[in-house]
Amino acid sequence: MKVTFPHMGNVWVILKTFLAGMGLEVIVPPPCTRRTLEIGVRQAPESACLPLKVNLGNFLEAKSLGADTIVMAGGVGPCRIGYYAQIQREILQDMGCDYEMIVLEPPDVHLSEVWDKLKYLKRRPWRKVLQGFILAWYKACAVDALEQEVMALRPLEAKPGLVDALYRKAILQIDAAGSKRQLRKIVRETVAEMVALPRQREYPILRIGVVGEIYTVLEPMVNLNLEKRLGAMGVEVVRKLFISRWINDNLFKGILPLPSHHAEKLAPPFLNHFVGGHGWESVGDTVAFARQGLDGVIQLAPLTCMPEIVAHSVMPAVQQATGLPVMTIYLDEQTGEAGLQTRLEAFFDMLQWQKGKRTG
């Protein structure tokens, strides 16, 4: 059995460690590129949401590397992610592409459903599986600690690109690391190197919050490197979506004392109910960012994303109440770099003008 999985930003490092810990041979799909997207788009239903299309591209690219089994997440409603696997299975079948699919999702009938799937997958004793899981968790924390530094330091560096070069190198080191101690060292050393880089300014020009659907926020290929673009403009990006926090909120049910979204407290009265995906969180995070005094918020979503359309629809009320400007960007295979850059620059100019007015 050679297992593969869908890509989402740096999540591959974590999934790879977890699956390898089960004693499985893991085929990491080639990194997402425009080609991955194009392959997926060609086969997927035209109006399916973007993550489904890119994932399909990942599966097809991993197939040519010899993968025969897909491990992925699912769901039981209300959003489309819960039916991704079924659609992808039928598409692969119609294409004559042979894959076994193992979908990890909340049980529909019996609690044992998830357990049975894990048991079927594992090739090593539970003790080893648990060790792998814990290592994967530490890697998630390491990746996120780095991401946060990168977001804060990009706008300051004198020569754009150096922070990112260190970041890329560190991700590969994290991938190879085998213990918590090693991970600590990698993070410590990388951060020290980043901090020591020459700077062109001591404070970011603006601070912008990023909210939205998790895939478009975390996968740079589909958001066309949004965070890097903003960083190069001197903007510090702030977000609350991190994979370690997602794991804590969703798999550990928030047991660990990590920051969380608290949409139920922050989103009302603007949005008073969960709406699937991250819609509620997008609104709650925007309110939190307003309170933190950020200069603006960018909401990201795949075109036709239902929860984010709801969030987008109530954003005018949030803006009116908090005074915080929000720009919503829908992404799909048609989104071009030039158009995106223009919108970012216009938003930047507007925020800077507002800030100037505020600070006199």
Partner 1 sequence: MKNKKLRLGLPRALFYYYYAPWWETFWQALGVEVVVSPPTNKEIMDLGVSLAVAEACLPVKIYYGHTAWLAGQVDVLFVPRLVSVEKKSFICPKLMGLPDMLRAAVKPCPPIIDTVINCVRQPQEGLAAAVEDMAGRVGFRGREVQSAREAAQERYLCWLERQQMGRANGATDLTSASAAGAAVSETGKPGLIDSAPAQAGSLKVGLVGHAYLIHDRFLSMDIPAKVKKMGGEITLPENLPPDQIALACRQLPKRLFWTLGQKIMGSVLSLIEQDSIAGIIHLTAFGCGPDSLVGDLAERYARRRGTPFLLLTIDEHTGEAGVNTRLEAFMDMLPRRYSA
Residue 79 near residue 276 (C-beta atoms within 8 A): yes
With CB under 5 to 8 Å by kind, the binding choice for 77 among ligand SF4, partner 1, none is partner 1
Shortest distance (Å) from residue 101 CB to ligand SF4: 17
- Binding of residue 266 to partner 1 (CB under 8 A): no
The upper half-sphere exposure of residue 266, i.e. CA atoms within 13 Å in the direction of its Cβ, equals 20
Q: Can the peptide bond before residue 51 be classed as cis, meaning omega within 30 degrees of 0?
A: no
With CB under 5 to 8 Å by kind, the binding choice for 288 among ligand SF4, partner 1, none is none
Name residues contacting partner 1, limited to 267-296 (CB under 8 A): 270-277, 279
- Binding of residue 345 to partner 1 (CB under 8 A): no
- Binding of residue 80 to ligand SF4 (CB under 6 A): yes
- Binding of residue 121 to ligand SF4 (CB under 6 A): no
Q: Which of 295, 297, 298, 287 is nearest to 354 (CA)?
A: 295
CA distance 334 to 323: 32
Cβ-Cβ contacts under 8 Å for 10 (sequence gap 6 or more): 143, 147, 171, 218, 243
Residue type, 146: L
Tell me the per-residue interface mask from 300 to 339 with ligand SF4, x by CB under 6 A, - otherwise: --x--xxx--------------------------------
Of 248 and 328, which has the nearer Cβ to partner 1? 328
- Binding of residue 212 to partner 1 (CB under 8 A): no
- Binding of residue 103 to ligand SF4 (CB under 6 A): no
Residue 79 near residue 306 (C-beta atoms within 8 A): yes
Of 298 and 305, which has the nearer Cβ to ligand SF4? 305
Of 253 and 357, which has the nearer Cβ to partner 1? 253
Shortest distance (Å) from residue 338 CB to ligand SF4: 24
Burial of residue 227 (number of CB atoms within 10 Å: 0-12, 13-18, 19+)? buried
Question: Could you say which of 3, 24, 48, 233 contacts partner 1 (CB under 8 A)?
Answer: 48
Stretch that binds partner 1, among 23-31, 138-146, 291-299, 302-310 (CB under 8 A): 302-310
Indicate the residue whose CB is closest to ligand SF4: 277
Tokens in use for 311?
Answer: 């969030």
The upper half-sphere exposure of residue 333, i.e. CA atoms within 13 Å in the direction of its Cβ, equals 23
With CB under 5 to 8 Å by kind, the binding choice for 272 among ligand SF4, partner 1, none is partner 1
Q: In the block, which residue shows the tokens 């400007």?
A: 325
Residue 323 near residue 290 (C-beta atoms within 8 A): yes
CA distance 1 to 192: 41
With CB under 5 to 8 Å by kind, the binding choice for 20 among ligand SF4, partner 1, none is none
- Binding of residue 315 to partner 1 (CB under 8 A): yes
CA distance 207 to 294: 5
- Binding of residue 297 to partner 1 (CB under 8 A): no
- Binding of residue 314 to partner 1 (CB under 8 A): yes
CA distance 236 to 107: 40
Of 95 and 172, which has the nearer Cβ to partner 1? 95
Of 3 and 306, which has the nearer Cβ to ligand SF4? 306
- Binding of residue 99 to partner 1 (CB under 8 A): no
Angle formed at CA 277 by CA 313 and CA 280, multiple of 5 degrees? 50
Q: In the block, which residue shows the tokens 């223009």?
A: 342
Distance of CA 206 to the CA centre of its chain: 22
Of 138 and 242, which has the nearer Cβ to ligand SF4? 242
Positions in the binding site for ligand SF4 (CB under 6 A): 49, 51, 79-81, 213, 276-277, 302, 305-307
